[in-house]
C-alpha cells in the first residue's frame, strides 16, 4: 500500500473516531432528564452570565457552568434575578422546569461534549508523538469508546472538564521540556488556570506540575546549583501565577483577593456528617481506602485493563522516552492516590482525571506485542480482538454509559450490588420512567431525587412523597429507584424497619434501564 493511500486511511479513521467521540454522548444526552447536579450547575452558569453574581453553587468554580450556559443567552427564557434568592437548588428546579427543559439541557450539554472532543485531540496528539501515528489512533479508539468518559461528557458537570484541562496542561509542560520554547510554558499556565476554574480538585494539579518541573530541573548531576534552583522556582511561580490570572479572569476579575479560597471553603458545606458511603453491600461513614481502586477495576472495560496491564508489566521491553513516562505516570498516580485518600466514595467520576494519562500509556500495547516476538499477523489479531472487545462493551450499554460495569461483576445488571450514586444513576432517567408508566398503567413510582420534577414528564403516583408507610403492605406494580433501594436497605437496619429492605425481601421482575427495578405484588 502506497503512502498516499495509507495517509488517506489514517485520516479517515481519525475523523470517524472524532465523530464517535461527539455523536455518542450527543445521542444519549437526548434520552435523559436532568442529572442531579445539572439542576444547579446549568442555571447557576446562566445567572453568572446574566448578573455577574457568582453566589449560587460556589462549591464548584464557574468555568464549565459558564461554557454550558452560554448558548442559553440566545434563548428566550423565563428568568427573574430575584429568584436567585431561592438558593441554588430551588432556583435551579424553577428555572429548568419553567422553561423548555429538554431544549435547554441539550444546548447546555454541548459544552462538555466539545471539551471531550478537545481532550480526544490531545490524547491522539500526545500518544502519536510518544509512540507513533498508529498508536495515536489506538489511544483515540480507547478514548472514543470509554464508558466513563462518555457518561460524563453528556452532562453539565465538572469532572470531565478538570480531567481534560489537567491532562492538556501536563502535555504542554512535557512539550516545553522537549523543545524549551517558552510558549509551551505559557500554555501550561493557561491550562492550569482552566483546570482550576473547572473544579477545586484542580488544585491537585499545582503540586503535580511543580513536582514535574522539579524532577526535570533538579534531577541532573548539577541540580543543586544556584541557577538550577532559581530556574525551578522561576518556572514554578510563572506557571502558578499565570494559572491564577486565568482563574481571576474566569471569575470576571473580582476585587476580593480571597475569592477562590472562599469558594473552596464551601466545598464541604453540603457534607452530611451522618452520610454512609456504600461498597459491596456495606455502609461506612469513613469510606474505604480501596474504594476507587475497586471502582476503577469494575467500571473500566476489561479490554482496556488488559492493555494497560500489559504495558505496565512489560514496560522494560518497550522504548518510551523517560520524560514522557514520567509525565504520564506521576500525574496519574498522584491523582489516584490523593483521591483515594481524600475523595468522597460516591463515584468513579472522582478519578476521571486518571483515564487520559492511562489511555496514552496503554497506546504502547501494540509495541509490547511486537517486542514479545509475536508474528505480525498475531499482533494484528490481538489488537483487533482487544479493540473489538472495547467497542462491543461500550456499544451494548448505550445510552446508559453511567451504569457501565464490566464482566468481572456480571455487567451493569449487577452494578447495584457493588456501588451506588453516580456510578449507577443520577436521577436522569425520568423520560424512560414516564414512557414505562404510560405503557404500564397503574405502576407506582418510587423516585427520591428531591430537586428534579417527575410531574414535568407526566409521572404520577410517586410513593416517595407519601407520609404513610406504604412499603409495609405494597400492592400492584412498582418502579423503584435503585439508589433509593440501596439507601432503604440501610434505613431498614438503622430504624429496625425490615419491611423497607426490598432488595433483600423481593425479586424484581424487570428494570427500566439500570435506574429502576420493577416489582409486582399480588
Q: Considering its fold, how many domains does the chain have in total?
A: 4
Q: Is residue 117 part of a domain?
A: no
pTM, two decimal places: 0.96
Measure the CA–CA gap between 485 and 514, rounded to whole angstroms: 13
Q: Is residue 349 part of a domain?
A: yes
Residues 21 and 129 in one domain: yes
Q: What is the pLDDT of residues 468-501, one digit of tens each?
A: 889 999 999 999 999 999 999 999 999 999 999 9
Q: Is residue 220 part of a domain?
A: yes
Residues 371 and 391 in one domain: yes
Contact 320, 130 (CB under 8 A): yes
Across residues 37-49, what is the average pLDDT? 98
State whether residue 246 is helix, strand or coil.
helix
State whether residue 272 is helix, strand or coil.
coil
The confidence band for 77, taking pLDDT boundaries of 50, 70 and 90, is very high
Across residues 1-23, what is the average pLDDT? 92
The answer, yes or no, to whether residue 82 has pLDDT greater than 90, is yes
Looking at residue 13, its pLDDT comes to: 97
The confidence band for 450, taking pLDDT boundaries of 50, 70 and 90, is confident
The confidence band for 271, taking pLDDT boundaries of 50, 70 and 90, is confident
Q: Is residue 173 part of a domain?
A: yes
Residues 241 and 162 in one domain: yes
Residues 178 and 318 in one domain: no
Which residues is 277 bridged to in the sheet? Answer: 284
Query: Between the CA of residue 160 and those of 122, 165, 184, 265, what are the distances in Å?
Result: 14, 9, 23, 22
Residues 25 and 143 in one domain: yes
| Candidate from 131-145, 157-171, 311-325, 410-424 with smallest mean pLDDT | 311-325
Query: Nine-digit cell at 135?
Result: 498508536
Residues 3 and 147 in one domain: yes
Measure the CA–CA gap between 58 and 395, rounded to whole angstroms: 36
Q: Is residue 283 part of a domain?
A: no
Residues 148 and 198 in one domain: no
Domain span at residue 197 reads 158-263
Helices (H), ranges, 98-157: 101-131, 133-144, 147-152
Q: What is the pLDDT of residues 396-441, one digit of tens each?
A: 999 999 999 999 999 999 999 999 999 999 999 999 999 999 999 9
Looking at residue 221, its pLDDT comes to: 56
Residues 48 and 131 in one domain: no
Looking at residue 224, its pLDDT comes to: 60
Looking at residue 223, its pLDDT comes to: 60
Q: Is residue 505 part of a domain?
A: yes
Looking at residue 220, its pLDDT comes to: 63
Across residues 40-66, what is the average pLDDT? 97
Residues 442 and 312 in one domain: no
State whether residue 69 is helix, strand or coil.
helix
Residues 340 and 353 in one domain: yes
State whether residue 497 is helix, strand or coil.
coil
Q: Is residue 249 part of a domain?
A: yes
Contact 194, 165 (CB under 8 A): yes
Residues 151 and 173 in one domain: no
Contact 75, 197 (CB under 8 A): no
Q: What is the pLDDT of residues 216-241, one digit of tens each?
A: 988 765 566 677 888 899 999 999 99
The answer, yes or no, to whether residue 333 has pLDDT greater than 60, is yes
Residues 204 and 313 in one domain: no
Q: Is residue 282 part of a domain?
A: no
Amino acid at each position: 500500500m502506497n503512502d498516499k493511500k495509507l495517509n488517506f486511511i489514517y485520516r479517515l479513521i481519525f475523523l470517524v473516531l472524532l465523530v464517535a467521540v461527539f455523536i455518542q454522548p450527543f445521542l444519549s444526552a437526548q434520552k435523559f432528564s436532568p442529572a442531579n447536579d445539572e439542576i444547579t450547575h446549568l442555571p447557576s452558569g446562566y445567572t453568572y452570565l446574566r448578573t455577574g453574581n457568582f453566589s449560587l453553587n460556589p462549591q464548584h468554580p464557574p468555568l464549565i457552568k459558564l461554557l454550558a450556559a452560554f448558548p442559553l443567552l440566545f434563548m428566550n427564557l423565563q428568568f427573574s434575578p430575584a429568584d436567585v434568592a431561592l438558593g441554588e437548588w430551588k432556583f435551579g428546579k424553577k428555572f429548568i422546569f419553567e422553561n423548555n427543559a429538554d431544549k435547554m439541557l441539550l444546548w447546555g450539554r454541548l459544552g462538555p461534549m466539545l471539551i471531550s472532543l478537545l481532550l480526544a485531540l490531545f490524547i491522539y496528539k500526545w500518544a502519536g508523538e510518544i509512540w507513533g501515528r498508529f498508536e495515536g489512533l489506538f489511544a483515540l479508539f480507547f478514548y472514543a469508546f470509554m464508558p466513563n468518559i462518555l457518561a460524563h461528557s453528556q452532562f453539565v458537570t465538572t469532572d470531565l472538564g478538570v480531567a481534560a484541562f489537567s491532562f492538556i496542561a501536563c502535555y504542554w509542560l512535557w512539550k516545553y521540556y522537549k523543545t524549551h520554547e517558552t510558549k509551551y510554558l505559557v500554555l501550561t499556565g493557561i491550562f492550569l488556570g482552566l483546570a482550576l476554574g473547572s473544579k477545586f480538585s484542580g488544585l491537585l494539579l499545582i503540586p503535580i506540575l511543580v513536582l514535574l518541573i522539579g524532577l526535570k530541573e533538579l534531577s541532573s548531576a548539577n541540580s543543586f546549583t544556584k541557577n538550577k534552583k532559581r530556574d525551578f522556582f522561576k518556572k514554578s511561580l510563572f506557571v502558578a501565577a499565570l494559572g491564577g490570572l486565568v482563574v481571576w479572569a474566569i471569575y470576571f476579575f473580582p476585587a476580593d483577593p480571597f475569592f477562590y479560597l472562599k469558594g473552596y471553603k464551601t466545598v464541604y458545606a453540603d457534607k452530611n456528617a451522618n452520610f454512609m458511603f456504600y461498597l459491596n453491600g456495606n455502609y461506612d461513614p469513613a469510606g474505604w481506602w480501596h474504594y476507587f481502586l475497586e471502582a476503577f477495576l469494575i467500571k473500566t472495560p476489561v479490554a482496556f485493563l488488559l492493555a494497560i496491564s500489559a504495558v505496565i508489566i512489560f514496560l522494560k521491553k518497550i522504548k518510551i522516552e523517560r520524560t514522557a513516562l514520567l509525565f504520564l505516570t506521576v500525574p496519574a498516580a498522584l491523582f489516584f492516590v490523593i483521591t483515594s485518600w481524600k475523595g468522597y466514595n460516591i463515584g468513579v467520576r472522582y478519578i476521571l482525571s486518571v483515564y487520559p494519562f492511562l489511555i496514552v500509556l496503554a497506546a504502547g500495547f501494540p509495541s509490547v506485542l511486537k517486542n514479545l516476538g509475536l508474528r505480525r499477523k498475531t499482533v494484528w489479531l490481538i489488537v483487533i480482538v482487544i479493540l473489538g472487545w472495547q467497542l462491543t462493551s461500550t456499544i451494548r450499554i448505550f445510552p446508559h454509559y453511567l451504569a457501565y460495569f464490566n464482566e468481572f461483576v456480571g455487567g451493569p445488571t449487577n452494578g447495584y450490588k457493588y456501588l451506588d450514586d453516580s456510578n449507577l444513576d443520577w436521577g436522569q432517567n425520568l423520560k424512560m420512567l414516564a414512557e414505562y408508566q404510560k405503557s404500564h398503567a397503574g405502576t407506582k413510582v418510587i423516585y427520591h431525587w428531591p430537586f428534579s420534577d417527575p410531574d414535568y414528564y407526566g409521572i404520577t403516583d410517586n410513593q416517595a412523597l407519601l407520609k404513610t408507610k406504604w412499603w409495609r403492605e405494597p400492592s400492584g406494580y412498582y418502579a423503584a429507584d435503585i439508589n433509593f433501594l440501596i439507601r432503604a436497605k440501610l434505613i431498614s437496619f438503622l430504624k429496625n424497619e425490615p419491611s423497607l429492605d426490598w432488595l433483600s425481601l423481593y425479586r424484581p421482575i424487570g428494570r427500566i434501564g439500570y435506574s429502576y427495578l420493577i416489582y409486582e405484588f399480588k
